[in-house]
Amino acid sequence: MAEVRRVSVEARRARLVARLGAPAGGVREVVERLVAVHATDPATVYLAIAARLPDPGGAVSAVERELYARPPGLTRMLAMRRTMFVVTRPFAPEVYAAAGRRIAVKERKGLLGHLADGGWDAAWLMDVEAEVAAALAAHPESSGAELSRLVPRLREQVVVARGKPYEAKQNVASRIIRTMAAEGRIERRRPAGSWTSGQFRWATAEPLPELPAEPARAALAKAWLGAYGPGSEADLAWWTGWTRGETREALGAVGAEAVVLDDGATAYVLPGDTGQDPAEEPRTAQLLPALDPAAMGWRERGWFLPEGHAELFDRTGNIGPTVWWGGEVIGGWAQWGDGAVVWQRIADRGAEAEAAVGVAAERLGAVLGGVRVTPRFRTPLERRLSA
């Protein structure tokens, strides 16, 4: 029986730097390497990509071109763990079949239950959705507010939390539009505000081809292992939102090879990826945004987080802006009111690291160009630094 190879923490960090941190040739290549970029916070998409471009100066316009060109090179979609991601357009059908389609089914079921509280049924919803599709055909790239004017029934309201102290009325518009987007019928286009805005315009989407779920899950598992391996079964199940059975099936379908981590846990890599680890790269510093893929790729993250890292997370486990050195997090960053980038060290890695982080902060400041970015999920460290 072949001996199971051990992968040390140092080797995992070297892989992280080589596969998730190294400069890429362009915007699409960055997203391909990362598999999917968290997009719950719109600014994360731009800053995560900019951090991995050799020349980040034109990153904002370059990302916008890929998102909003016709046809787009990148697309936003609700997928793994009911989270918004940006993926490359060619990979979107696999991601949808592997994770997004199930979310879309749940969204529609929840929407119908929500509408039932107002006395409306599936037939009523179908009529409204037809009106939305007709409105977008006549008025491409309309905002949610504009759609509500064009389709008056979107302004209907439903009482939520009836009888509770926090009872409130909500328009049905956002739920209907979100469900249509989750199903790939409409898509987010250029925001009404700046690149940090989450107020998107909407347009009719090019339909994605329907793929079977099992091979799509295998394709997604293969991409994840190539970027984030070694990772455990629990890591992949958490990242995708799959059941343990689906995760094991996908790992088996790609022939994933088992390795042993420093703590004795079993993890997996792609077939043949148990060989020599990447050569150690010259240490570089990176300031990565909240919810960056490098910090959100695994359920268990202790191997790259320092002691005292609790302040980097909000109460629900969302990670804020982080400072990286040699494949590990050594601090967090924020912006002052004037837009200046500031950071706080959590782990001391010497003068070389301090100097490199200072250069990286200046580089990030040039990308931001005075724009103030406030993370959607604010952490204790980010709040304190920005005060």
Confidence of residue 164 (pLDDT cuts 50, 70, 90): confident
Domain membership flag for residue 377: yes
Whether 3 shows a pLDDT value over 90: the answer reads no
Domain membership flag for residue 371: yes
> Are 185 and 66 in the same domain?
yes
Residue 65 identity: R
Confidence of residue 276 (pLDDT cuts 50, 70, 90): low
> Are 70 and 168 in the same domain?
yes
Domain membership flag for residue 162: yes
For residues 151 and 176, give the distance between their C-alpha atoms in angstroms, rounded to a whole number.
12
> Are 203 and 272 in the same domain?
no
Which pLDDT score is estimated for 308?
Answer: 87
> Are 48 and 110 in the same domain?
yes
> Are 53 and 158 in the same domain?
yes
Which pLDDT score is estimated for 284?
Answer: 86
Please write the tens of the pLDDT for every residue from 57-82.
889 999 999 999 988 999 999 999 99
Q: How many other CB atoms are there within 10 angstroms of residue 378's CB atom?
A: 15
Q: How many other CB atoms are there within 10 angstroms of residue 144's CB atom?
A: 17
Token pair of 97 as six digits:
């079949």
What is the pTM for the complete model shown? Answer: 0.94
Whether 87 shows a pLDDT value over 70: the answer reads yes
For residues 254 and 85, give the distance between their C-alpha atoms in angstroms, rounded to a whole number.
23
Which pLDDT score is estimated for 17?
Answer: 94
Which pLDDT score is estimated for 190?
Answer: 94
> Are 270 and 289 in the same domain?
no
Give me Rg for the CA atoms of the chain: 22
User: Of 179, 211, 243, at which residue does a domain stop?
Assistant: 211
Least confident among 101-115, 154-168, 201-215: 154-168
> Are 43 and 192 in the same domain?
yes
The CB-side HSE value for 76 (13 A sphere, CA atoms) comes to 27
> Are 196 and 340 in the same domain?
no
Q: How far is CA 175 from CA 111, 112, 113, 133, 162, in A?
A: 7, 10, 11, 15, 18
Which pLDDT score is estimated for 260?
Answer: 96
User: Of 191, 211, 231, at which residue does a domain stop?
Assistant: 211
CB contact set of 209 (below 8 Å; sequence gap of 6+): 93
Using alpha carbons only, what angle is made at residue 320 by residues 316 and 323, rounded to the nearest 5 degrees?
145
Query: In whole numbers, what is the pLDDT of the chain averaged over residues?
Result: 94
Q: Residue 3 sits in which domain range?
A: 1-25+214-281
User: Of 236, 257, 281, at which residue does a domain stop?
Assistant: 281
Q: Per-residue pLDDT averaged across 332-340, rounded?
A: 94
Domain membership flag for residue 137: yes
Least confident among 28-32, 70-74, 163-167, 367-371: 163-167
Which pLDDT score is estimated for 274?
Answer: 84
> Are 296 and 270 in the same domain?
no
Domain membership flag for residue 30: no
SS3 track for 291-331: CCHHHHCCCCCCCCCCCCHHHHECCCCCECCEEEECCEEEE
> Are 71 and 190 in the same domain?
yes
Please write the tens of the pLDDT for every residue from 102-157.
999 999 999 999 999 889 999 999 999 999 999 999 999 999 999 999 999 999 99
Q: Which residue shows structure tokens 């009529």?
A: 127
Please provide residue 147's backbone torsions phi and psi, each rounded to the nearest 5 degrees: -65, -35
Considering only CA atoms, which of 375, 293, 378, 382 is closest in space to residue 43? 375
Three-class SS of residue 194? coil
End-to-end alpha-carbon separation of the chain, Å? Answer: 58
Cβ burial, residue 307 (10 Å; 0-12/13-18/19+): exposed
Domain membership flag for residue 179: yes
Which pLDDT score is estimated for 281?
Answer: 59
Domain membership flag for residue 343: yes
Least confident among 137-151, 160-174, 200-214, 237-251: 160-174
For residues 336 and 302, give the distance between their C-alpha atoms in angstroms, rounded to a whole number.
29
Q: Per-residue pLDDT averaged across 243-248, rounded?
A: 98
Q: How far is CA 363 from CA 26, 90, 270, 358, in A?
A: 17, 31, 34, 9
> Are 10 and 115 in the same domain?
no
Domain count, the chain: 3
Q: Per-residue pLDDT averaged across 42-69, rounded?
A: 94
> Are 291 and 255 in the same domain?
no
Please write the tens of the pLDDT for every residue from 279-308.
655 678 999 999 999 999 999 999 999 988
Confidence of residue 165 (pLDDT cuts 50, 70, 90): confident
Which pLDDT score is estimated for 327?
Answer: 94
Domain membership flag for residue 349: yes
